[in-house]
């Protein structure tokens, strides 16, 4: 297994050394079997150094290809790392031989990327979609009629990632651009260079066009995706929804050194240019494979519709064991001449179609329905299932959301149920196979009492969720609220995590977040395995939280429906806790974005005697109960009533700082552009689709300086 020193988190489980792959001889000259000499043997003359640098680069490009594309490494990890370190050292000492496509560039950099908008040389069309085999037959028949001659179809997997256009000039990768709106996209070259399966430099002895474009899909393999999510779960961070979003998100990261850690992969499926020799699409991709591109092994040339259908049926099942996500099959008329003859519509080529698979479904047994109590008392029913494989992961639990859904499904314990993954990471139950309902158990009825404290549950009118109303006595709610209070976006108490909070509860040291401020170092030391240093850290973290701004204290209280943004709005509207506590329903609903539901929840919270006492204790311990002088001095109503969209990369302040400024000056920061948008605060490289929309709707665009002038 190679863990390159520069790419963390990649574990391809490859043998450290295997024999060279005889099918693909040395692409990069004859460096493969002649080890590159080490530094002690370097001649100091400039020519010799330059030669040495070039040899190392060639060797590393070749081995990168052997390892990542062919899965057949020919160097041990140690040798690879030694050569890479050697090259990095020489490049540092000789910047005059700099090459932006050197293998050392795969490590990425810490410099913030700015993604320039670039126009595509050839528009990036999308494919016409169908879920229907009849339409696939119709596509085939239409092509037969229009072409009126023999033709072949190249059947391919439809990879479910994010598409990319790679431009090569004289064998070097010069540009990588996202699809964007199809006409122009973002230049993400620095980030793409970190993906090990994308060649930076094509081999010297290969014959390829001077200029050409490769298109393909950037993917996050299931293994990497699952590992990143496990890590996130441990860190209590939001989970990545699916590998497609994860790959697209990674490509837009600000630092390419971070992208290098995301374990991205790529499949290339389309070559464009003036001088492509092969008429066949299939043949041209196989040729590109010999230049070092990763092309799918699963393409197949089909001569008739039966072969096409066979391919579709095979992969509908076969895709479940692939290392990456796929969502369908792409069928392309193979001959480029015939492709040109068929041409394109405004949006799609007439020579290709995508057949999409039905969302992956699994059928498994429902063993039990458990009920989870959230920190606000909301009860979530969770189906416990016989473990089943679904789109690359083992599923044991699925959300049932609420009582209405349970009623609709008409569930019995022991039922065989269908599980699907939508866009979200948590799978859901979409149906019951009633034909298999033979010896089932009880009908599932939503519980009446809280599973933790036994209090009778309530369901407010118009609400889908059941709640446990015992907010100051229900143990799970109490713990959940303290865990929320100390979490990163609220008080961010360093050194303290949910396990320690559990220990505090178990030992009877705390019952609410105010109790945290009475804990002593000695009490912590007496707890299970707590060392001096961690006790000091916890005390320090708790002390430091007294400086956390008022709006985050408010968010940390965990009032139902008061998330981060609402807390910010309330803090800015009322300025301190006293005013907020005294606010009437009317005053509350007058604040932007605060509807009756939130206002009532706030009123209920502050009417509770125990909550009042909690707040007065927090005040006594020194927590921030009003907006800081600095924030107050900078407040105004200059943006009152305005909806502002932020887009692009900024120099003077971060995006979050701009968001805060908008709220401080009475405005609202919103995500998408509409007729109601007052203006767009645009940094460099505003996204092309946003720009187009803004122009279409005639929405004003202000740059950083104009915005700062406006609020001055």
Catalytic residues: 158
Would you count residue 156 as binding ligand IVH (CB under 6 A)?
yes
Identity of the residue, 269 or 282, whose beta carbon is nearer to ligand IVH in the bound complex: 269
Rounded CA separation 280/286 (Å): 10
| Interface region with ligand IVH, contact rule CB under 6 A, candidates 158-166, 199-207, 240-248, 683-691 | 158-166
Q: Of 5, 49, 72, 125, which lies in the binding site for ligand IVH, with binding defined by CB under 6 A?
A: 125
Would you count residue 127 as binding ligand IVH (CB under 6 A)?
yes
Query: What is the bridge-based pairing of β-strands 668-670 and 326-333?
Result: unpaired
| Interface region with ligand IVH, contact rule CB under 6 A, candidates 1-9, 92-100, 123-131, 282-290 | 123-131
Q: Of 163, 194, 284, 391, which lies in the binding site for ligand IVH, with binding defined by CB under 6 A?
A: 163
CA 187 to centroid of chain Cα atoms: 19
Q: Give buried/exposed letters for 592-618 (b at 16+ CB in 10 A, else e).
A: eebeeebbbbbeebbeeeebeebbebb
Residue nearest to ligand IVH (CB): 163
Q: Of 139, 159, 282, 605, which lies in the binding site for ligand IVH, with binding defined by CB under 6 A?
A: 159
The answer to whether 75 touches 4, Cβ cutoff 8 Å, is no
Rounded CA separation 203/29 (Å): 7
Would you count residue 349 as binding ligand IVH (CB under 6 A)?
yes
Considering the complex, what minimum distance in angstroms separates the CB of residue 342 from ligand IVH?
A: 12
Identity of the residue, 244 or 568, whose beta carbon is nearer to ligand IVH in the bound complex: 244
Considering the complex, what minimum distance in angstroms separates the CB of residue 128 from ligand IVH?
A: 8
Rounded CA separation 314/200 (Å): 35
The site for ligand IVH, by CB under 6 A, has a size of 15
Would you count residue 330 as binding ligand IVH (CB under 6 A)?
yes
Return all residues near 435 (Cβ < 8 A) that are at least 6 apart.
none
Return all residues near 446 (Cβ < 8 A) that are at least 6 apart.
381, 403, 406, 466
Would you count residue 269 as binding ligand IVH (CB under 6 A)?
yes
Would you count residue 126 as binding ligand IVH (CB under 6 A)?
yes
3-state SS assignment for residue 509: coil
Considering the complex, what minimum distance in angstroms separates the CB of residue 159 from ligand IVH?
A: 4
Considering the complex, what minimum distance in angstroms separates the CB of residue 172 from ligand IVH?
A: 24
| Interface region with ligand IVH, contact rule CB under 6 A, candidates 10-18, 154-162, 424-432, 645-653 | 154-162
Considering the complex, what minimum distance in angstroms separates the CB of residue 269 from ligand IVH?
A: 4
Identity of the residue, 21 or 130, whose beta carbon is nearer to ligand IVH in the bound complex: 130
| Interface region with ligand IVH, contact rule CB under 6 A, candidates 119-127, 253-261, 498-506, 535-543 | 119-127
Q: Of 270, 485, 574, 658, which lies in the binding site for ligand IVH, with binding defined by CB under 6 A?
A: 270
Within 45-104, the residues that bind ligand IVH by CB under 6 A are none
Considering the complex, what minimum distance in angstroms separates the CB of residue 346 from ligand IVH?
A: 13
Sequence length of the chain is 712
Alpha helices by DSSP H, listed for 65-205, are: 77-93, 133-147, 189-192
Packed helices 243-251 and 222-234: angle between N→C axes, nearest 10 degrees: 80
Rounded CA separation 142/149 (Å): 12
Identity of the residue, 56 or 266, whose beta carbon is nearer to ligand IVH in the bound complex: 266
Considering the complex, what minimum distance in angstroms separates the CB of residue 348 from ligand IVH?
A: 7
User: Residue 137's beta-bridge partner residues?
Assistant: none
Identity of the residue, 330 or 395, whose beta carbon is nearer to ligand IVH in the bound complex: 330
Identity of the residue, 156 or 483, whose beta carbon is nearer to ligand IVH in the bound complex: 156
Rounded CA separation 684/650 (Å): 6
Q: How many CB atoms lie within 10 A of CB 517?
A: 17
Give every strand in the sheet of 265-272, ordered side by side.
172-178, 162-169, 211-219, 265-272
Rounded CA separation 663/345 (Å): 45
Identity of the residue, 342 or 548, whose beta carbon is nearer to ligand IVH in the bound complex: 342
Q: Sketch the per residue contact string, 352 through 371, with ligand IVH: x for CB under 6 A, - otherwise.
A: x-x-----------------
The answer to whether 188 touches 253, Cβ cutoff 8 Å, is no
Identity of the residue, 523 or 689, whose beta carbon is nearer to ligand IVH in the bound complex: 689
**Rounded-to-10 torsion of CA 219, 221, 222, 226:** -100
Return all residues near 382 (Cβ < 8 A) that are at least 6 apart.
369, 370, 371, 372, 397, 398, 399, 400
Q: Sketch the per residue contact string, 605 through 644, with ligand IVH: x for CB under 6 A, - otherwise.
A: ----------------------------------------
C-alpha distances in Å from residue 72, one per residue of 13, 16, 80, 322, 696 = 12, 9, 14, 19, 52
Identity of the residue, 162 or 660, whose beta carbon is nearer to ligand IVH in the bound complex: 162
Considering the complex, what minimum distance in angstroms separates the CB of residue 187 from ligand IVH?
A: 18
Return all residues near 238 (Cβ < 8 A) that are at least 6 apart.
232
Q: Sketch the per residue contact string, 529 through 548, with ligand IVH: x for CB under 6 A, - otherwise.
A: --------------------
Considering the complex, what minimum distance in angstroms separates the CB of residue 161 from ligand IVH?
A: 7
Q: How many CB atoms lie within 10 A of CB 278?
A: 16
Considering the complex, what minimum distance in angstroms separates the CB of residue 329 from ligand IVH?
A: 8
3-state SS assignment for residue 367: strand
Would you count residue 334 as binding ligand IVH (CB under 6 A)?
no
Rounded CA separation 712/696 (Å): 30
3-state SS assignment for residue 397: strand
Identity of the residue, 354 or 553, whose beta carbon is nearer to ligand IVH in the bound complex: 354
Within 426-445, the residues that bind ligand IVH by CB under 6 A are none
Would you count residue 284 as binding ligand IVH (CB under 6 A)?
no
The answer to whether 233 touches 188, Cβ cutoff 8 Å, is no
Identity of the residue, 287 or 568, whose beta carbon is nearer to ligand IVH in the bound complex: 287
Judged by the rule CB under 6 A, the positions of this chain that interact with ligand IVH are 125-127, 156, 158-159, 163, 179, 217, 269-270, 330, 349, 352, 354
């Amino acid at each position: 297994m190679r863990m390159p020193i520069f790419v963390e988190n990649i574990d391809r489980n490859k043998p450290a050394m295997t024999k060279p792959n005889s099918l693909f001889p040395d692409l990069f000259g004859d460096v493969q079997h002649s080890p590159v000499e080490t530094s002690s043997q370097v001649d100091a003359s400039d020519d010799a150094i330059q030669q040495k640098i070039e040899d190392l680069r060639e060797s590393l490009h070749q081995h990168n290809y052997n390892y990542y594309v062919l899965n057949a490494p020919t160097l041990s990890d140690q040798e690879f790392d030694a050569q890479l370190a050697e090259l990095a050292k020489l490049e540092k000492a000789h910047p005059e031989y700099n090459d932006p496509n050197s293998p050392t560039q795969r490590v990425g950099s810490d410099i913030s990327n700015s993604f320039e908008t670039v126009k595509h040389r050839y528009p990036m069309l999308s494919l016409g979609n169908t879920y229907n085999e009849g339409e696939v037959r119709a596509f085939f028949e239409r092509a037969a009629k229009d072409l009126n001659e023999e033709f072949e179809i190249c059947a391919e997997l439809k990879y479910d990632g994010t598409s990319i256009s790679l431009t090569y000039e004289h064998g070097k990768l010069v540009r990588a651009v996202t699809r964007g709106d199809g006409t122009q996209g973002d230049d993400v070259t620095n980030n793409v260079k970190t993906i090990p399966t994308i060649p930076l430099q094509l081999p010297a002895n290969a014959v390829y066009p001077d200029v050409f474009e490769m298109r393909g899909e950037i993917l996050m393999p299931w293994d990497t995706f699952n590992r990143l999510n496990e890590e996130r779960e441990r860190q209590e961070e939001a989970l990545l929804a699916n590998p497609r979003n994860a790959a697209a998100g990674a490509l837009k990261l600000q630092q390419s050194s971070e992208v290098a850690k995301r374990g991205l992969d790529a499949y290339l499926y389309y070559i464009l240019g003036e001088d492509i020799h092969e008429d066949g699409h299939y043949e041209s991709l196989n040729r590109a494979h010999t230049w070092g591109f990763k092309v799918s092994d699963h393409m197949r040339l089909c001569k008739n519709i039966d072969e096409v259908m066979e391919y579709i049926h095979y992969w509908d099942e076969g895709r479940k064991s692939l290392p990456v996500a796929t969502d369908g099959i792409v069928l392309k008329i193979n001959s480029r001449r015939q492709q040109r003859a068929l041409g394109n519509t405004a949006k799609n080529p007439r020579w290709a179609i995508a057949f999409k698979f039905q969302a992956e479904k699994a059928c498994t047994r429902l063993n039990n329905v458990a009920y989870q109590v959230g920190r606000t008392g909301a009860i979530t029913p969770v189906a416990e299932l016989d473990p089943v494989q679904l789109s690359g992961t083992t599923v044991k639990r699925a959300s049932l959301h609420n009582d209405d859904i349970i009623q609709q499904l008409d569930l019995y314990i022991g039922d065989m149920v269908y599980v699907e993954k939508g866009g979200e990471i948590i799978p859901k139950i979409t149906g019951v196979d009633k034909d298999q309902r033979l010896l089932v158990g009880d009908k599932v009825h939503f519980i009446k009492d809280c599973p933790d404290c036994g209090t009778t549950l309530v369901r407010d009118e118009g609400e889908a969720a059941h709640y446990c109303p015992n907010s100051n006595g229900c143990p799970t709610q109490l713990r959940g609220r303290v865990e929320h209070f100390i979490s990163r976006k609220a008080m961010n108490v360093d050194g303290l995590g949910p396990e320690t909070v559990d220990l505090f509860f178990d030992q009877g040291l705390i019952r609410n977040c105010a109790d945290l401020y009475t804990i002593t170092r000695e009490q912590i030391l007496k707890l299970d395995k707590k060392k001096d240093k961690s006790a000091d850290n916890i005390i320090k973290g708790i002390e430091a939280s007294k400086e956390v701004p008022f709006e985050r204290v408010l968010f940390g209280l965990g009032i139902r429906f008061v998330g981060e943004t609402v807390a910010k709005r309330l803090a800015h509207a009322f300025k301190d806790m006293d005013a907020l506590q005294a606010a009437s329903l009317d005053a509350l609903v007058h604040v932007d974005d605060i509807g009756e539901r939130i206002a009532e929840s706030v009123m209920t919270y502050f009417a509770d005697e125990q909550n009042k006492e909690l707040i007065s204790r927090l005040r006594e311990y020194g927590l921030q109960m009003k907006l800081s002088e600095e924030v107050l001095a900078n407040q105004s109503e200059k943006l009152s009533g305005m909806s502002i969209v932020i887009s692009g990369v900024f120099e003077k302040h971060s995006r979050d700082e701009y968001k805060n400024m908008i709220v401080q000056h009475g405005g609202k920061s919103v995500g998408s552009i509409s007729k109601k948008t007052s203006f767009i605060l645009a940094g460099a490289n505003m996204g092309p689709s946003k720009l187009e929309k803004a122009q279409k709707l005639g929405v004003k665009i202000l740059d950083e300086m104009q915005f700062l002038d406006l609020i001055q």
